[in-house]
Amino acid sequence: MLPMLPYYTSKNLFLAELLGQNLHISKIFYLFLVLVNTYLIWLISKKLLNKKFAFLSVATILFSPWFYYLAVGHSFYFLLLFPTLLIILGLIEIFQTQSKTINLLLVTGSLLSIYSSALFIPLLLILFITLIYSKIISLNKLKLSLILIFILSLPLLFLISKNSIGFTNSLRQEAKIFVDPGLINSINRYRGAAEANNYKFFSRVSENKYLFYSEYIFLKYVSQLVPETYFTPKYKLLSYAFNPPIFAGFTIPMFYGLYLALKKPNLRKLLFVSTILVIPSVISKDMVSLNRLVLFSPVVFLVISYGLSNLYQKRNALVAKYFLILTSILVLFQIVVVLFDFKAHEQQRFESYFGKNYELSEP
């Protein structure tokens, strides 16, 4: 790991020594980060959606457990969301203006992210290449910013060249998609059974590791993009919670927003490109890592806000009105249920997963 952001939360921070309560400092920092990230998403919403409805994305975040759990769990990827949002904001600014000057948001975000996580080096490369190749942003508009990013990342590249093993290890730490032997075992099982039945050739053609690995990557990629990942507790927050990352009632505006976005070719293209942000979760050990997927969360919140704002604008139509009412009822109902459930079961679930001697809250 190339620690830059985590440094500020480490116990060596002078303020931590001053207060003598390291974990509290860290907590305050993460709570502050919730506010900053939410504010940045609000800024993005203002630029992409109708300004009047930008608050909807903030409301969706505030009514969703995702950020809170990751902040309490001191998620590293929640930290990385900050530079990611700066990058997104910078790219939107470049997209919406004709200026070819250096975009400081993009540069700052990119540098913060690549100095913090080795994974962001290939990730940003893929992002920029895709944006240019798909003609969403021209190379001319990006050129100066990219050059500056390159120059300022030279020290990092120098360090990497000096310690390539460390860099490779760091990348390996982040990309654990194939560490589980289950997949290779299953390939061997298939192959063994087929060969025992004299289907050796067919098995070699259709049940080889290259094909299965590709299919598995694709399965993981698609799994990041389905509603059950966001609106159900299928993949548990901090590995134990029953609360979904986003309340289930928001599925309705999500689907509506998606429906509207898919109808427009430009938005469709943007949506496809934005899925690059799911790569960190794709290459994780688990099928879906909500911890890493938080980098993609702004896209989800924006689609929900887009759907909500359009439903609100069409509120005179009967169906839109029903959808809005249903969304509100479901979200409010789930908040109440979650609050009661939190009091009744959360501790027990936590203990049954982590064991009784493990505490998350107090030092």
Partner 1 sequence: MKKNNFWLYFALFIITIIGGFLRLYKITQNPPSLTGDEISFGYSAYSILKTGRDEYGKFMPLVFQSVGDYKNPVPAYLMVPSIKIFGLNDFAIRFPNALLGTISIPIFFFFLLDILKNKRIALLGSIFLSLSAWHIFYSRFSYETLMASLFVLLGIWGFIKMFNGNLVWAFVSAFFFTLTMYTAFAPRLFIPAFILGVLIVNIRNVKKNLRNLSVFAFTCLILGLPLLYVTLFQGAGTRLQMVLISNDIEFSRHILLKYFNSISDLPMLFFFWLKRYISYLNPGLLFFNGLDATQPNPIGLGVLYIFEIPFFIAGIIEFIKNKIPNKNIFIVWALTGILPDSLTNNQQHAGRLLHLFPLLIMISAMGAISIYHQLKKVKIKLVRTIYFLLYSIFILIVLIHAYLIIWVNFPRDKSESFDEGWREAVQYMIVNQDKYKEIVIDPARGIDGPNMISNPFLYVLFYTKYDPLTYQDEKKIYSESSDYYFEFNKYTFRHINWPADKNSKETLFIGSPWSLAKENLNDGELLEIINLTNGSPAFYIVTPK
Binding site for partner 1 (CB under 8 A): 182-183, 186, 189-190, 193-194, 197, 199, 202-203, 205-207, 211-212, 215-216, 218-219, 222-223, 226-228, 231-234, 242, 244, 248, 251, 259, 262-263, 268, 333-334, 336-337, 340-341, 345, 348-349, 352
Give the residue with the Cβ less far from partner 1, 329 or 360: 329
Fill in the amino acid letter for 338: V
- The CB-of-192 to partner 1 minimum distance in angstroms stands at 10
The DSSP output letter for 134 is T
CB distance 243 to 178 below 8 Å: no
- The CB-of-1 to partner 1 minimum distance in angstroms stands at 29
Give the residue with the Cβ less far from partner 1, 55 or 199: 199
- The CB-of-193 to partner 1 minimum distance in angstroms stands at 5
- The CB-of-206 to partner 1 minimum distance in angstroms stands at 4
The DSSP output letter for 227 is H
Give the residue with the Cβ less far from partner 1, 244 or 253: 244
Q: How many helices (H) and strands (E) does the chain have?
A: 21, 0
* Separation CA 221–CA 275 (nearest Å): 9
Burial-class residue 270 by CB neighbours within 10 Å (0-12, 13-18, 19+).
Answer: middle
* Closest alpha carbon to 120 in 194, 174, 53, 55: 174
Give the residue with the Cβ less far from partner 1, 45 or 251: 251
- The CB-of-138 to partner 1 minimum distance in angstroms stands at 24
Give the residue with the Cβ less far from partner 1, 151 or 226: 226
Q: Is 137 helix (H, G, I), strand (E, B) or coil?
A: coil
CB distance 244 to 341 below 8 Å: no
